[in-house]
């Protein structure tokens, strides 16, 4: 073994570490960021409450962004690193696929095929297949009444009235989860049609889905807050 000669001087506030051979490497503290379901931050607090410095932690609650952000070791002086645990509500993939309240304009055949392959979410599956057949067989009945007049001074006035007639139900009812991992709920969906330059498209709207989604987001997020307050962690609402 090679001899090593060291001269050490006592320096206040400093640490000297001498490592040789197969000694394990130094462990450096690192910050971390964990993401999960909306209950992830509360679950972290419940399982690690004894290890959390509540004075240096806070939880940011955002109904708009549908998430809770738990900030740990903020401005910490004990060697711990600032870290976060984020819980977020995500919409169910199948609910998003219907593009309800998104202003998406469906081609009628495209919408018919989508309904056909997702008819299991319809409370009335016979109605679903009836909508499919009528969308595929649909021929737009667009009527226009155009009035053109001009006065003696050369002014021109053009009036146009359009009407689209389509033989399908005004709405249908779905039963499905709106939020990932959540229970299925039922809501009505309106079928709206519009014609532009001779092309008819449909879009889906649902006031009940929007209202139930907002209520459920508030319910899920507010259910987490008591965990933070019990642990002495400040809750900040955006």
**CB neighbours of 170 closer than 8 A, spacing ≥ 6?**
190, 191
CA dihedral 229, 233, 237, 238 (to 10 degrees): -160
User: Do the Cβ atoms of 181 and 40 come closer than 8 Å?
Assistant: no
Residues 62, 136, single domain; the answer is no
> Among 56-65, 157-166, 226-235, which stretch is predicted with the lowest mean pLDDT?
157-166
| Residue 84 token pair | 């976060």
SS3 134: helix
Between 110 and 3, name the one with better pLDDT: 110
- Residue-number span of the structural domain to which 119 is assigned: 93-146+161-207
Residue 12 pLDDT greater than 60, yes or no? no
Q: How many domains does the chain have?
A: 2
Residues 62, 121, single domain; the answer is no
Residue 216 pLDDT greater than 70, yes or no? yes
Residues 232, 168, single domain; the answer is no
- State the Cα–Cα distance between residues 44 and 31, nearest whole angstrom: 15
Residue 14 pLDDT greater than 60, yes or no? no
Q: What is the pLDDT of residue 55?
A: 87
Residue 75 domain flag: yes
Residues 120, 139, single domain; the answer is yes
Q: What is the pLDDT of residue 10?
A: 61
Residues 128, 223, single domain; the answer is no
**CB neighbours of 224 closer than 8 A, spacing ≥ 6?**
38, 39, 41, 42, 61, 68, 87
Residues 113, 167, single domain; the answer is yes
Q: What is the DSSP-derived secondary structure letter of residue 24?
A: P
Residue 199 domain flag: yes
- pLDDT one-digit tens code per residue, 21-43: 565 555 455 566 888 999 999 99
Residues 196, 104, single domain; the answer is yes
- pLDDT one-digit tens code per residue, 82-128: 789 999 999 999 999 999 999 999 999 999 999 999 999 999 999 99
Q: What is the pLDDT of residue 136?
A: 87
> Among 8-17, 42-51, 117-126, 190-199, which stretch is predicted with the lowest mean pLDDT?
8-17
Residues 142, 168, single domain; the answer is yes
| φ, ψ dihedrals at 109, nearest 5° | -70, -40
The whole-model pTM stands at 0.74
Task: Please name every residue paired with 160 in a beta bridge, in sequence order, or none if there are none.
Answer: 146
């Amino acid at each position: 073994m090679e001899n090593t000669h060291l001269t050490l001087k006592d320096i206040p506030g400093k640490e000297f570490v001498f490592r040789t051979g197969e000694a394990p490497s130094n462990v450096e503290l690192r910050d971390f960021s964990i993401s999960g379901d909306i209950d992830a931050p509360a679950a972290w607090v419940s399982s690690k409450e004894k290890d959390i410095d509540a004075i240096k932690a806070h939880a940011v609650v955002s109904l708009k962004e549908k998430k809770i952000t738990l900030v740990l070791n903020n401005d910490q002086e004990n060697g711990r690193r600032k870290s976060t645990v984020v819980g977020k509500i995500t919409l169910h993939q199948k609910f998003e696929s219907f593009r309800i309240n998104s202003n998406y304009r469906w081609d009628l055949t495209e919408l018919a095929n989508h309904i056909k392959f997702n008819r299991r979410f319809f409370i009335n599956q016979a109605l679903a297949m009836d909508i499919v057949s009528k969308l595929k067989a649909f021929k737009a009945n667009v009527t226009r009444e155009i009035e053109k007049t001009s006065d003696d001074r050369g002014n021109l006035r053009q009036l146009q009235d359009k009407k689209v007639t389509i033989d399908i139900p005004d709405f249908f009812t779905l039963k499905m989860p709106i939020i990932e991992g959540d229970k299925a709920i039922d809501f009505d969906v309106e079928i709206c049609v519009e014609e532009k330059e001779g092309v008819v498209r449909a879009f889906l709207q649902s006031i009940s889905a929007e209202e139930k989604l907002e209520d459920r987001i508030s319910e899920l997020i507010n259910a987490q807050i008591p965990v933070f307050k019990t642990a002495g962690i400040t809750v900040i609402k955006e």
